A and B are shown apart, each in its own frame.
Chain A
Amino acid sequence: MKKVGNHTSISRILFFCLALSLTFSVSYAQQAAPEAAAATAAAAPAAGAGDPVKGKELFNANCASCHKLDAKSTGPALRGVADKHDRAWLYKWIHNSSEMIKSGDAAAVKLFAENNKTTMTAFPQLSEADIDNIMAFTSEVAPVAEKPAAAPVAEGSGSGASNNLILGALVLVLGVLIVMLVLVNKTLRRIAANNGVVVTEDEPSVSLWKAYAKNGFLVFVTVLLLMLASAYFLYGYLMQIGVDQDYQPVQPIHFSHKIHAGDNGIDCKYCHSSARVSKQSGIPSLNVCMNCHKNIAEFAGDKDSLYVDHSKEFYTAEIQKLYDAVGWDKNTQKYTGVQKPVKWVRIHNLPDFVYFNHSQHVSVAGVECQKCHGPVETFEVMKQNAPLTMGWCINCHRETDVKVEGNDYYAKIHDELAKKYGVQKLTAANMGGLECGKCHY
C-alpha cells in the first residue's frame, strides 16, 4: 500500500514540472511584445523643428523612389542629411538642383559627381515647411529605429521555442503515464500474489489461427480482399507515376510569391507577361526583377506580417543573389556586366507530346491563373498545384463555358453551334476541345 502512495508522489512532481514549463514558455512569449513597444516609444525623440510624421508621408511620396534613409540608391542615403548641409542650401538644392550645379556651387558639383552625374528632379512644389518636415523625418535616429524591425524575428523564434517546449512536455507526460501504468500493473500483480490469487493465462482449446486456417471460405475471402487491396494500391501507385502534384523544389533564389503577388499585390502577368501572347508563361528575365529591385535592395516587410520561416536578413540575402546574377553593384548603383544566369528548377513539366498554350487560356478564355496554379499569392515556396493529368485538363474543358462575348472570332461559330446544340452557353468540349489533335501534335 505504501508503494502506491510513493507512485502518486512521483507523478505529482512530474505534473508540477510540466505546469511550470508551460507557464514559463507562455510568459516568455508575452514578454516580447511590451519590450518591442517600449523600444518604439523610445525611438521617437523630437529632432528639429519639423513634424517627422508629416515628413515621412512627404518622403514616401516624393523622395523614396530615388533615396533611402540608410543606403545609397539612385541618390545618396538621406539619414542625417540635415546635418551635412545648411538648411538654406538644402532648400535651394531641392527646389532646383541643376541650377545650382550650373552656377558652380562647389558642394553641389561635388554631390552631382558623386552620384553618377544623375540630375535630381526639381521639387519647386515643396514648401520650406515641407522640407523641414522631411528633414525632421530623416533626422530620426537610426539604430533605435532598427530594433522594432528585428523584433518580429525574436518573437518568431520565441514562439518556435515555446512550441517545442510544449511538445517536449507532452512527450514527457506520455512517458510518465506509461511508466505509471506499468508500475500499477506490477503493484496489482504483487497484491494479487500476496493475496494468494493465482493469475492463470486463458488457454483456448483450439488455437484461433488453426481454426482460421481450417476455414477455407475465410481464407478465400481474406486472400481475395488482400488481392483487391493490393491491386487498389498498386493501381494508385502506378497512376501517380509522372504526376508531380505538389512538387516543390528548392530554387536557387528563394522567391516568395506570397510577398510579391500576395502582400504587394503585383499582377501575375506583370512578370509572366508572355502568358498573354505566347504558349509559355515564361520565367521572367532578370531585367524584369530589376524594374523594382533596383530600388528595393533590402527586405522591408511589414513588421506585423508573419514571415514565419525567414528573417529579414534572409530575404535581403536573397535579393543580393539576384544582384549577383544580374551583375548589379548596389553600392555604386551600376551594372558590373558580369552576369550569372539563374538556373531555376522547372516545376510544371508537361510531356513533349502535349501542346499547351497560355495565351489561349489567359488572353482568349480569360481564365484566372489561380484556376490551375492555385492560390499562388499565398505560396511562400512555389509548387505544382494541379496534377496536370489529361483527365484534369479534359474535365475542365467539359465544364468550362467558352467566353464568346465581345470576341468577333466566335460570333459566327457561336451562332451556328448554339443553334445546333440548342444551348446558349458552349463548353470548350462543344467547340472541339476534347479532340486528340488539339493538344497532341
Chain B
Amino acid sequence: MASNKKYWQSVEELNENSSIVEKLRNNEFVEEIPTDEFLGDKEALSSSSTSRRDFLKYVGFSTAAASLAACEGPVIKSIPYVVQPEVIIPGVADYYATTIADGFDFANILIKTREGRPIKVENNTLAGAKVSANGRVHASVLSLYDSMRLKQPVISGKPASWEAVDTTVKKGLSEAAAGAGSVVVLTGTTASPSTEKLIAEFGAKYPGFKHVVYDAVSSSEALDAFQAVYGERALADYDFGKADVILSVGADFVGDWQGGGYDSGYTQGRIPKNGKMSKHIQIESNMSLTGANADKRIPLTVTEQKYALVKIYNIVTGAAVSVPDVTKPYDQAVVNAANQLKAAGSKGVFVTGLDDVNAQLLAIAINNSLQSAAFNPDGARYVRKGDAKAVAQLVADMKAGTVHTLIMSGVNPVYTYPDSAGFTEALKKVKLSVSFSLKEDETASIATVAAAAPHYLEAWGDVTIAKGHYGITQPTIRPLFNTKQFQDALLSWSGNGQSYYDYLKAFAPTFTTGKTWNQLVHDGVYLNEVPATVSAAPADYGTAATTLASAKKAGGLEMVLYTKTGMGDGQQANNPWLQEFPDPITRVSWDNYVTVAKADADALGLENYNVANGGLNGSYVTIEVNGKKLEKVPVIIQPGQAKGSVGLSLGYGRKAAMKKEMMVGVNAYSLYTNFNAFQVAKLTKENGDDHEFACVQLQKTLMGRGDIVKEATLKDFNEKDVADWNIMPVVSYDHKEVPAASIDLWESFDRTTGHHFNLSIDLNACTGCGACVIACHAENNVPVVGKSEIRRSRDMHWLRIDRYYSHEDTFAGDVNLKNNANGLLESVDTFTAMEDPAENPQVVFQPVMCQHCNHAPCETVCPVAATSHGRQGQNHMAYNRCVGTRYCANNCPYKVRRFNWFLYNKNSEFDYHMNDDLGRMVLNPDVNVRSRGVMEKCSFCIQSTQATILKAKREGRPVAKGEFNDSCACSAACSTGAMVFGDVNEKEDPIVRLKEDDRAYHLLSHIGTQPNVFYHVKVRNT
C-alpha cells in the first residue's frame, strides 16, 4: 500500500522554494569540492583518458601485483671488478698502519678495511707506537663517511674547481709578495716534521711570513714553561708506570691532559703486583676521569689548587714560600700527599693541569727535585704546540689589515676562538683567506676559499708524537670527494712540481735509518732508540711560587672548562657514535652542561630530578664570565665537584655543517678567554622549563651492595685471607652454609673440550675511558637511536660502563652502614638516604656486557629458542628467529639485552649514519644489521672468534697463545689491559692465570648463572 508520508532530511526540504534543496538534488555537495587543489591542472585532467573505473582497476592490479611480487625474491646484481686490485680479496679484511693527527688526538693505529672501505680502527702494537686509540679515534672512521663533508672546493660560496682555487690563491700570493701585506699560515698542531719543513720552504718567498700554531684547547702555558727550562717548545713525557706515588693538581692525565695517551702507562702501576701498586692522589675541582680513578681525591677550587701546589712545592723542595692555607678539612690531606710524594723520591711524580705558567714551572721544579724517574723531559712530546700569544698577535695584525693572505688548515677559529666575533671581523679584513677543512664549517663558510681537505684516512703524512717516534699516515681509501691535501696545495703554490707523497718519501729517510720506505709504510711507525738528552736551564722558581701563592680568590664561582671524553675539542661533533657515547662520569649523552656542587646548587636553587618516563631533568642557568653571557646552559649536580667551582665542557654547540640532531649543547669556547681553562663565572638560574637530559644511568650509588663491585684495600689485600676480602656468597643447603656456586638447578655440560671463551675485566685497570664502547659500536653495527630514545632507556650499547658513587666517603663505609641498619624503619631511612652520593665520593667503573652465563636465565624463557648456548661458552642470539617477546631481557639479571624498538637503518626518523649511503659504508659486512622487533646483545664478537678459528684451521695450526684476545672488539681496543679475552681450555692462554687469580669473581654469582665474564676485585691503595 502506497504511503502518503513524506520523508524529509532537513527542515529546509519543507520549504518548497528553497534553492538549496534544488541544488542538493542535482549536486552531491552544496559547495563544489576544491578538487583543483589536489588534482592540479583541470585541463590535463579532463583530457586524460583515465576514468575513475580505470583508476580502480589500476589500484586493484597494482595491489595484486605487489602482493604477488612479494613472494618472489628480488633480482640482485653482482658487479665484480673489471681489473681486481691484487691486495683486495672480496670478503677478506686488509689492515693498514697509519697515524691520526687531527690537532687534538694523536695515535698510532691500524685501519681495518673491507673491499677497500675502512671500517674499524685498531691499535698498532709494534714497537715505536706511542699512543693507543681512545674513543674518539675509534669513532674517527665514521667521520670519514660524514655526509656533511665538503665535497669540492668553494670560492666565495660557489663550488669551484681546483684550477680556479690555484689561480685565485696564486694571484693573491703574488700580490702579497709584491708588498700588499704578509702571508700567514695558521694550522693546528701538526706534529709533522715534513709539513713544518714544507711550510717553512713555502714561506721563505714572502717577507714577514709567519706560521702560527693554534690549538683549540690550548696547553700554551705548559709549553711556555717547558720552553723556558728546556729550550724547546714541547711537553715533557711521563711514564706513570714507573711511579709509586702520583700526585696531580688539576691534571686529567687519564683523559685529554696535554694530548692524552697516558692511560696505559698509568694502569701498569695500578694493578697490584707482589703486593704493591702505585698510590694516586688527585687534587682537582671537576670530577674528572682521573679523579674518579684516584685512590684519594681532594676537591679544591682552582685558586686553592694553586695554594696546594705551592705547599707541595715547599714540602718537596724545602722552599719556604708563604702561602695561605687550603680550606679545611683538606689542608691536612694536601700536606700528607706532599709528604708521601717527597718520601717516594724518584718513585714519585707530580703533574699539574693548571693553565698557569708559574704552576707549570713549579711542576718541573718539583719533579726535578724528586729526580722523578717517571718525568721524562728527554722524550719531549710534540702533540701540542699552540701559542696563545702568537694567535692573539695574529688576530691583532689581521684587524690592523697587515695580513694579506691567511691560509688555514685543520683549524676552525670562528667556532673555537674565544672572541669569535672579533676573529670574524678580523678575517673580513684579510684580502685572501683559504681554509682547508673537512667540512664547510664556521670558518670555511666565511673564508674566501673553502678548500675541501681529505680526511686523514685519505691522506699522506708523517707524525712525530714524541721525540724518537716517527709515524706515517697513509691513505686507506681513494678520496671520496674532490679534495686536495693542504700539503699538496702548498707544494703547487710554491711552484714545486712534486706531489706531497714524493716529498714525504724523500723526506722520511732523514728520520728513519735502516728501514725502507715500504717497510716504514707497512709498520706505520719507526722508533729511534737513542733520544737526545736535554738539560734544565735555571729558572726563577721562587718568583713563580710567590706569584702563584698571591693568587686571590675571586667573587663568584671558579669555572674550569674541560673536554668531555666523548667529544674532545668538538671536531667530530657530527659523529653520532660520539654524541650517543655516554659520558663516563655523568652518564649523559647528547649534551654538555655545567657541573655544579650540591651545596652550590642548593644555594642557587638548582635541581636535578628524575621523571616518570625514565629521564633526568635539570635546571637551566645563564653563565656570565667577564660580561660575556652564555644562556640556557643545563645543570648537572656533580658529586665530587669542589664547592665553589663549576665545570663546563668545550666542543658542543656547533651549528655549521651539522645534521640537525647533532646540533646539541652550548658553545663554551666563547668563555675560554685567553685560552685559559680557569674562568670566574656567575651563575643565574633561568626560569621556565627544565632541560631534558638523555642520561643512561639514573641510579648513582651501589646502595652498599659490595658484592656487585667488590673492593679491598691494599692492606687487606696483602695481609688478609682471600675469603675475607673476596667474599664468596653462601646459601643454606640441608641447613648448612655452602658456597652458592656449588648449588645448581641445572646439569652442567662438559665444557672441557674445544674452546671455552672467557672475558676478564680488571676493575683496577679499567679507567672508564670508553674506547671499548665505541669499538664495540663499530664492530657490531650497533645502531644510534638518538636523544629522545636514550631518554626512554632504549639505548643500544652492547657494552655499558656503569659508574657508581659511594654514599659514605668510601664504598666500605656504605657496606658498614647497610649492615648496621636494624629494623624496618631504620633500614628504609638508611636506604633512602643511601640513594644520594657523598659530597666527595669514591667512584668505581664497571663495564657490563652480556655475561654469557653458562646457565643463562634468558635462554630458558625464550619461547622460540632464539637464544641458545654454544659449547664455546657464547650465548648465541639468532636474530632471524627472534619474535620480540622480550622475555629474555626481563629475565636477564644483568640487564644487558637491547631491543630494537624501531628500524634504525634506512629510516629518516633516525637520521644518523645508517640513514645515508655514505654512512652505511662503515658497517661491518660480517655482522647482520638488525631489524625492528629483534633483541640483540653482546655476542663475544663471535664473528671474530670464528674468523680466528678459521684462520688457524686454514693454516693447519692450533690457535696461537693470546690470539683470541684481539677477537673481541672491546678487549682489542682496551689499551690499559683491563679487558682480556681468551680460551680457558688452553693452558697457555693468559686468561687461565687471570681466572685462577685470587681477585677473580663473578657478577651476582649467588644467583647461579655461572657467567663466562669475570671481574677482578678493585684494590684501593688508601
Q: Using CB atoms and an 8 Å cutoff, list the residues of chain A in contact with chain B.
A: 241-242, 244, 247, 249, 274, 277-280, 282-288, 325-327, 339, 341-346, 349, 351-355, 357, 359-360, 363-364, 406-413, 416-417, 420, 431-432, 435-438, 440-441
A360 touching B950, Cβ below 8 Å? yes
Per-residue A-contact encoding for B860-872, CB less than 8 Å = 1, 0 else: 0000001010111
A284 and chain B: residue at smallest CB distance = B80
List B residues 61-98 near A (Cβ within 8 Å): 71, 73, 75-84, 89-92
- Sample (18) of A-B pairs whose CB atoms are under 8 Å apart: A242-B73, A278-B89, A280-B90, A283-B78, A285-B80, A286-B81, A287-B81, A339-B83, A344-B77, A355-B943, A364-B950, A364-B953, A409-B952, A409-B956, A409-B957, A432-B871, A436-B868, A436-B881
Chain A CB within 8 A of B794 CB: no
Q: B77 contacts A346, CB within 8 Å?
A: yes
CB-CB under 8 A for A353 and B958, given A286-B80, A342-B80, A441-B943: no
Chain B interface residue number, banded: 35 or more
Point out the residue from B80, B871, B926, B952 that lies within 8 Å of A344, measured CB to CB: B80
B868 touches A344 (CB 8 A): no
Q: Is there a chain A Cβ closer than 8 Å to B300's Cβ?
A: no
Q: Does B928 contact A (CB under 8 A)?
A: yes
B878 within 8 A of A: yes
**A247, closest chain B residue (CB):** B73
Q: Which residues of A contact B82 (CB under 8 A)?
A: 285-287, 325-327, 339, 341
Q: Which of B76, B92, B871 meets A274, CB within 8 Å?
A: B92
Chain B residues lying within 8 Å of A351, measured Cβ to Cβ, are 880
Kindly list chain B residues whose C-beta atoms are within 8 Å of the C-beta of A247: 73
Residues of B within 8 A of A441 (CB): 876-877, 926-928, 939, 942-943
Stretch at the interface among B218-226, B468-476, B747-755: B747-755
State whether A274 touches B89 (Cβ < 8 A).
yes
CB neighbours (8 Å) of B901 from chain A are: none
Known contacts: A432-B870, A436-B878, A441-B927. The answer to whether A282 contacts B90 by CB under 8 A is yes
B-side contacts of A242, CB under 8 Å: 73
For A432, the chain B residues whose CB sits under 8 A away are: 754, 870-872
- Name the one of A354, A407, A435 contacting B953, with C-beta atoms under 8 angstroms: A407
Instruction: State in angstroms the CA–CA spacing of A278 and B83 once bound together.
Output: 18
By beta carbon, the residue of chain B nearest A238 is: B71
| Chain A residues, Cβ within 8 Å of B952 | 409
Determine if A249 and B953 form an interchain contact, defined as CB atoms under 8 angstroms apart. Answer: no
B848 contacts the other chain (Cβ, under 8 Å)?
no
Whether B950 and A359, one on each chain, are in contact in the complex, defined by CB atoms closer than 8 angstroms, is yes
The interface centre, meaning the residue of B75, B82, B870, B926 with most chain A CB atoms within 10 A of its CB, is: B82
The 10 closest A-B pairs by CB, nearest first: A437-B876, A278-B91, A285-B84, A285-B81, A280-B91, A346-B78, A436-B878, A353-B880, A283-B80, A279-B91
B window 949-966: CB within 8 A of A: 949-950, 952-954, 956-959
What is the CB-to-nearest-CB distance from A160 to chain B, in angstroms, rounded to a whole number?
31
Interface 1/0s, chain B 869-891, versus A by CB < 8 A? 01110101111110000000000
Interface residue SS majority, chain A:
loop
- B321: interface (CB < 8 Å): no
B78, A357: Cβ atoms closer than 8 Å? no
Inter-chain contact A287/B954, CB cutoff 8 Å:
no
Chain B interfacial positions (CB closer than 8 Å to A):
71, 73, 75-84, 89-92, 750, 752-754, 866, 868, 870-872, 874, 876-881, 926-929, 939, 942-943, 946, 949-950, 952-954, 956-959
Closest Cβ of chain B: how far from A248's Cβ, in Å?
A: 12
Q: Which of A285, A325, A341, A342 has the most CB of B within 10 A?
A: A285
CB-contact partner of B91 in A282, A288, A354, A420, under 8 A: A282
* Residue from A247, A355, A409, A416 whose CB has the most chain B CB atoms within 10 Å: A409
Chain B residues with CB under 8 Å of A274's CB are: 89-92
- Docked complex Cα distance between A168 and B897 (Å): 69
Q: Which one of B83, B752, B874 contacts A437 once the chains associate, using CB atoms below 8 Å?
A: B874
CA distance A229 to B928 in the complex (A): 39
Task: Give the distance in Å from the alpha carbon of A432 to the alpha carbon of B929 in the complex.
Answer: 25
CB distance from A238 to the nearest CB of B (A): 9
Q: Which residue of B lies closest to A252 (CB)?
A: B77
User: In the complex, which of the residues A339, A420, A440 contacts B878, with contact meaning CB atoms closer than 8 Å?
Assistant: A440
A411 to B957, CA, bound (A): 9
A233 to chain B, nearest CB (A): 15
Tell me which of A244, A277, A417 contacts B753 (CB under 8 A): A417
Other A-B contacts than A408-B956, A410-B953, A440-B878, 5 sampled, CB-CB below 8 A, are: A285-B83, A339-B82, A352-B929, A355-B946, A432-B871
CB distance from B798 to the nearest CB of A (A): 12
Cross-chain contact B73 with A438 (CB below 8 angstroms): no
Q: Are B954 and A364 in contact (CB under 8 A)?
A: yes
Q: Which of A247, A352, A406, A413 has the most chain B CB atoms closer than 10 A to its own CB?
A: A352
Contacting residues, chain B, for A277 (C-beta < 8 A)? 89, 92, 954
Which residues from chain A contact B83 at a C-beta distance below 8 Å? Answer: 285-287, 326, 339
A363 contacts B79, C-beta separation under 8 Å: no
Q: Given B81, B89, B874, B959, which contacts A409 in the complex, CB threshold below 8 Å?
A: B959
Which B residue's beta carbon lies closest to that of A411? B958
Rounded to whole angstroms, the CA-CA distance of A354 and B880 in the bound complex is 9
Known: A346-B77, A409-B956, A409-B957. A437 touches B754 (CB 8 A): no
User: What separation, in Å, do the CA atoms of A54 and B379 have in the docked complex?
Assistant: 78
Known: A274-B92, A287-B83, A344-B77. Is A353-B953 also a contact (CB below 8 A)? Answer: no
Whether A440 and B752, one on each chain, are in contact in the complex, defined by CB atoms closer than 8 angstroms, is: no
**How far is B881's CA from A277's CA once the two chains are assembled, in angstroms?**
30
Contact A353 B928, CB 8 Å, known A283-B78, A436-B878: yes
> A286-B82, A287-B83, A413-B753 known; A437 and B958 CB under 8 Å?
no
Are B89 and A440 within 8 A (Cβ)? no
Cα–Cα distance between A423 and B866 once the two chains are bound (Å): 31
Contact yes or no, A437 B870, CB < 8 A: yes
CA distance A181 to B82 in the complex (A): 66
Residues of B within 8 A of A327 (CB): 82
Could you tell me the distance between the alpha carbons of A242 and B871 in the complex, rounded to whole angstroms? 31
CB distance from B739 to the nearest CB of A (A): 28
B705 CB, nearest partner CB in chain A, Å: 32
Chain B residues contacting A413 (CB-CB under 8 Å) are: 753-754
User: Which A residues lie within 8 Å of B954 (CB)?
Assistant: 277, 359, 363-364
CB distance from B494 to the nearest CB of A (A): 33
CB of B174, distance to nearest CB on chain A (Å): 38
Residues of B within 8 A of A286 (CB): 80-83
- Please tell me if the beta carbons of B868 and A435 are within 8 angstroms of each other in the complex: yes
- CB neighbours (8 Å) of B929 from chain A are 352
Provide the residues of chain A in CB contact with B81, threshold 8 Å.
285-287, 341
- Contacts of A353 on B, CB cut-off 8 Å? 878-880, 928
In the complex, the answer to whether B946 meets A412 with C-beta atoms within 8 Å is no
